[in-house]
Structure 1
Amino acid sequence: MPLKPLFPALQLTAILVLSLVDTCFGQADTHPDRPVFHKRWTLPTDQPDRVILTFAGDPATQQSVTWRTDTTVRQAIAEIAVADASPNFYRTAQRLNAKTEKLDAAAVKGAEVAANYHSVTFTGLQPGLLYAYRVGDGVHWSEWFQFRTASREAKPFSFLYVGDAQNYILELWSRLIRAGFSKAPDARFIIHAGDLVSEAHSERQWHEWFTAGGWIHGMLPSVPVPGNHEYRAATAADEANKESRLSVQWRHQFTLPLNGPADLQETAYTFDYQGVRIVALNSNRQQEVQAAWLDSVLTKNPNKWTVVSFHHPVFSTAGERDNPRIRELWKPIFDKHGVDLVLQGHDHTYARGHSGPTSQNVVAGMNTRDSRTGTVYVVSVSGGKMYDFKPDAWDKYDAKLVRKAENTQLFQVIQVDGNTLRYQAFTTTGELYDAFDLVKGAKKGQNRFVERVGSAVAERH
């Protein structure tokens, strides 16, 4: 006869836990045990760490860098020089004093740290030039990093885009971000479409994120937008009032443009890069305020291309999720101004398509692989947490879903070359998963759309 379980209550608890995992993730969590880190691993020292490049001004003449130390380092500096093949390039380095801000999050659950964050914005740089820099305090230094400023002209360039890192960051997101850099080593920046971590204030998770990217963060400027997981209660009062706050680390560790709506500084912003206007939105807060700002930003847009990124998708892909307010407020503005590409996260699946019957129409004399399209919408995921695609896909939306995936870590390489924008999505093991071109004509209007998915691997479910 079959043996009875020795601990039936424990067995029932295990079943309930697995059931909960199925509900949250869309599938049983089969990842191996998480590594255990001693708390000292995350603590700052007098040695610079978490070195990261961001844009705070004109990418052709400015570049910002931010880093962390313990609170004993009160006066930090950065050195910069034009990069040269000779190891003696540093002799011409210019030294700048850093702005230092103390983050005292000792009372914030999950953070429980005091650290100094230092930042420098290099100004007066020459467009299209390669620079080397390092940061420190005059005794303790980082290694030398390199970056290239943007050109004043609309020259060809590429950038990376990734969805949610969020879970299993050190174990699994590390391979994704490194594969992306290997595939596009000349990329000029990387868009992170929210949920960089799972618990907004967690020092351990932020340390995993910086460790997973490592020196890539110091070479390739980041363009982050906050996701819902970048907002959590920071105090007992917050928990009692069911209030959430932006990650206490966010504004300290990212030096971002201050040109967005007043209450959303460094979470909604814009910048131009070689003929492309990049707009970052905060889909967690004040969507109506951002709608007015977005309309203004796009009305005064002299660039040929427009790319917008935020976290919550206009057309949801997973479970019972939907974001009707974002769709009602922002999509008409995208349509009005002919936004080319919208890059999103949140739903832990992959989807690519376009909206509205007009954008689905095929122009006379063209086949379905070479038609006209309006805004292209993409949802992607880069971390280890996956959801199932909703059964009705985009059927309830005025939108056409062209390509989708489940249970697949992906990064995207986007190349802009004159009148052509080329989009490619790759798996973390290097296979081409999705591809298309957008081609602009001589007059303003819908882009010519060229489908290139024929050379990609089969759709993953």
Structure 2
Amino acid sequence: MKKKIIKHLILFAPLLHFYFPGLSQQTVEYKEPKFHTDWSKPTDYPDRIILNFGQNPSEEINITWRTSPEIDSAFVEIAKASGDPKFWQNKKTILANTEIFDASEIATAEVIAHYHSLEIKELEEETIYAYRVGDGERWSEWFQFETASTNPEKEFSFLYVGDAQNYILELWSRLIREGFKTAPEAKFFIHAGDLINSAHREQEWHEWFTAGGFIHSMIPSVPTPGNHEYRAKDSVEMVAKARSLSLQWNPQFTLPKNGPEGLEETVYYMDYQDTRIISLNSNKDLEIQAEWLEELLKNTEQKWIIVTYHHPMYSASSGRDNPTLREIWKPIFDKYKVDLALQGHDHSYARGRVSPGENILEGVNLLDQTGTVYVVSVSGGKMYEVGGDWTELGATKDRSGENIQLFQVITIKGDHLFFESRTAIGELYDSFELIKTENGPNKFIELRAKAIDEKIESDQN
């Protein structure tokens, strides 16, 4: 792959030099931006405003933001939104919780801030709310969000991305914004780990929040931690070869606290209409999570089960297999018929599945009986080559690709789940459909070829 890229640069260098005389072959390189040391420091004005759902998104929303430590008291003002610009006359003003974040002695963090958060409950279902945050004098703009419906059959979509991690502000920003442009009505955003590269580095977290901008403030995030969210925070941990969860993780996200003890806000679930969304932590305590997951799925009544975690059950790249994860978690996925597993880590794309039965032919379409569908995707600028054979591991890899930034739009409508993977410029890259059958395995329909053929035909006309 590297040889191919170098070969292409050599081929096109003369053309670049012809059209851009001031550009020599030696200067064809990428330069990362430099940030001022105070760029990521908090001020008296709210920043890093982010939404997370509670366990029940039809009536719960969690709001979190940051200020300088001079702001001791902070509030959320919230009201039902309307077309009337004076909707705020019916607002409620609620005092938020405030906690000190002191990482002044931690290298790469070196910051003191106040994080403010509020868990709002007893909201009305399927309702658009507007809110702003501030200290009573310095306020953010008004943002809007919508609560979930209690109608299990109501159609909804959400977005999913793999590792942002590297070149976050300069390259990941275009990806997340294209995702929002493509699916502006998405109800939440799953981030499958490695949101940043260095767990405690304040600048990278600021890049992540800046890249997403108002998207974080309007579409609730569902983050799961990757291995890069775990790093030694000081010399003591480095000597002991220990790793700590990013110091910023718990203060800056307010997630459901319904997971196993000791894994709060990294292992959790929420029920969005007829879909149970489960975040697992593939970095540690796999067996503890297995026990918790078994109990959770045993009592799950939702039609669809979607699980997200970082390290893939089936890897997209060579030499990155996770057999322990597969040994401990996969039997539970199989037993309780998990529909979809959304993963990251491998910086390439792969999509495949386990099949519990024989294929059946129905009309002109091949409707495949299928078990869990596994997806690995990457959204940032760091890329690996694809590799690895799933067949010897008991699964089928249906699609793979490399060197491409992707976001995914997933739509659930009754017994149908539609999956689309799109590039950073919005082009369709991969798609499929899952259909629920009564008491049997899902039916799987490969849509990618059909969708691309239709686009080609449309372009020709």
Q: Is residue 323 of structure 2 the alignment partner of residue 355 of structure 1?
A: no
Amino acid at match of 1:417: K
1:31-430 paired onto structure 2 within 5 Å:
32-154=30-152, 155-356=154-355, 358-359=356-357, 361-363=358-360, 365=362, 369-390=366-387, 392-430=388-426
Root-mean-square deviation (CA, aligned residues, Å) is 1.4
Distance in 1, Cα, partners of 2:46 & 2:215: 15
Deviations 1:80-139 (A, max 9, x none): 000010110111110000000111001111100000000011211100000000000001
Q: CA deviation at 1:395?
A: 4.0
Distance in 1, Cα, partners of 2:29 & 2:55: 41
Amino acid at match of 1:210: F
Distance in 1, Cα, partners of 2:450 & 2:105: 53
Question: Does the 8 Å CA contact 1:432/1:455 hold for their aligned counterparts?
Answer: no
Amino acid at match of 2:235: A
Distance in 2, Cα, partners of 1:168 & 1:156: 34
Q: CA deviation at 1:319?
A: 3.0
Distance in 2, Cα, partners of 1:370 & 1:145: 43
Distance in 1, Cα, partners of 2:371 & 2:186: 26
Question: Does the 8 Å CA contact 1:338/1:445 hold for their aligned counterparts?
Answer: no
Distance in 1, Cα, partners of 2:46 & 2:37: 18
SS at match of 1:40: coil
Question: Does the 8 Å CA contact 1:431/1:457 hold for their aligned counterparts?
Answer: no
SS at match of 2:39: helix
Amino acid at match of 2:336: H
SS at match of 1:425: strand
Q: Aligned residue for 2:25?
A: none
Question: Does the 8 Å CA contact 1:146/1:219 hold for their aligned counterparts?
Answer: yes
Question: Does the 8 Å CA contact 2:55/2:271 hold for their aligned counterparts?
Answer: no
Q: CA deviation at 1:261?
A: 0.6
Q: CA deviation at 1:34?
A: 0.7
Question: Does the 8 Å CA contact 1:349/1:407 hold for their aligned counterparts?
Answer: yes
Question: Structure 1 stretches (4+) deviating beyond 6 angstroms?
Answer: none
Indicate the percent of aligned positions where both proteins have the same amino acid. 53
Question: Does the 8 Å CA contact 2:361/2:367 hold for their aligned counterparts?
Answer: no
Amino acid at match of 2:411: Q
Distance in 2, Cα, partners of 1:141 & 1:215: 15
Amino acid at match of 1:389: V
5+ long unaligned stretches in structure 1: 1-17, 19-29
SS at match of 1:66: strand
Q: CA deviation at 1:32?
A: 1.4
Question: Does the 8 Å CA contact 1:128/1:148 hold for their aligned counterparts?
Answer: yes
5+ long unaligned stretches in structure 2: 1-5, 7-27, 454-461
Q: 2:443 aligns with which of 426, 443, 448?
A: 448
Q: CA deviation at 1:364?
A: 5.4
Distance in 1, Cα, partners of 2:418 & 2:55: 26
Q: CA deviation at 1:269?
A: 0.3
SS at match of 1:108: coil
SS at match of 2:315: coil
Distance in 2, Cα, partners of 1:336 & 1:182: 38
Q: Structure 1 stretch 364-373 or stretch 291-300: which is displaced more?
A: 364-373
Deviations 1:327-372 (A, max 9, x none): 011111010001100000000000001025x35x312556773221
Q: CA deviation at 1:318?
A: 1.4
Distance in 2, Cα, partners of 1:101 & 1:410: 36
Q: CA deviation at 1:404?
A: 0.7
Q: CA deviation at 1:457?
A: 5.3
What TM-score results when the alignment is normalised by the length of structure 2?
Answer: 0.90
SS at match of 1:396: helix
Amino acid at match of 1:355: V
Question: Does the 8 Å CA contact 2:191/2:222 hold for their aligned counterparts?
Answer: yes
Distance in 2, Cα, partners of 1:256 & 1:339: 22
Question: Does the 8 Å CA contact 1:431/1:456 hold for their aligned counterparts?
Answer: no
Q: CA deviation at 1:31?
A: 6.4
Q: CA deviation at 1:394?
A: 2.3
Amino acid at match of 1:219: M
